[in-house]
């Protein structure tokens, strides 16, 4: 869990480092939920050659667990990440099983949008939709070049 301390102050990190942090978080969630809980994380492409600002993926991953987990129905939580033509696509998919007393203020998403706009300007897309009880998030962005500091 040193990632927040060591990488959090950097302007960019390799996607491989960010994904390792996400995988550790998922492993912690699986300890809490049980190893047989259906959590899928598909990855495609060269993660080492792609650079992003730190903590771009975590708000989306955290929200999928916060609002998409049901011990009763064991609905799957799915993460997909791909790198193609210097473009990252990251998506989350989960059932909407938010407890009635859990209020969403969208603070994490608002902060993420602000950070994305400041760094990526118009070179990103962040969409979230819901349909038939499923919540979908799609994030697309271009790699930060190595000169970004």
* Buried-state track 52-87, b at ≥16 Cβ within 10 A, e below 16: bbbbbbbbbbebbbebbbeeeeebebbbebebeeeb
What tens digit of pLDDT does each residue of 83-127 get?
A: 998 899 999 999 988 666 666 667 888 999 999 999 998 899 999
| Cα–Cα distance measured from residue 32 to residue 13, given in angstroms and rounded to the nearest whole number | 28
- Report which of residues 4 and 120 the model is more confident about: 120
What tens digit of pLDDT does each residue of 36-53 get?
A: 899 999 999 999 889 999
pLDDT at position 68 over 70: yes
Query: How many CB atoms sit inside 10 A of residue 13's CB?
Result: 21
How far, CA to CA in Å, does 140 sit from each of 55, 80, 83, 128? 15, 12, 10, 12
Domain boundaries, the chain: 3-142
The fold of 3-142 is Heat Shock Protein 90 (3.30.565)
73 touches 37 (CB < 8 A): no
């Amino acid at each position: 869990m040193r990632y927040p301390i060591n990488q959090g102050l950097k302007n960019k990190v390799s996607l491989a480092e960010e994904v390792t942090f996400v995988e550790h978080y998922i492993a912690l969630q699986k300890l809490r939920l049980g190893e047989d809980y259906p959590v899928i994380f598909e990855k495609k492409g060269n993660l080492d050659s792609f650079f992003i600002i730190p903590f771009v993926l975590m708000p989306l991953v955290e929200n999928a667990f916060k609002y998409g987990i049901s011990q009763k129905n064991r609905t799957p939580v799915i993460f997909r990440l791909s790198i193609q033509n210097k473009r990252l696509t990251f998506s989350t998919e989960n059932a909407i099983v938010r407890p009635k007393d859990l209020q969403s203020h969208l603070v994490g998403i608002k902060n993420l949008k602000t950070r994305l706009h400041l760094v990526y300007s118009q070179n990103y897309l962040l969409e979230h939709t819901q349909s038939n009880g499923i919540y979908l998030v799609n994030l697309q962005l271009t790699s930060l070049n190595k000169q970004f500091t």
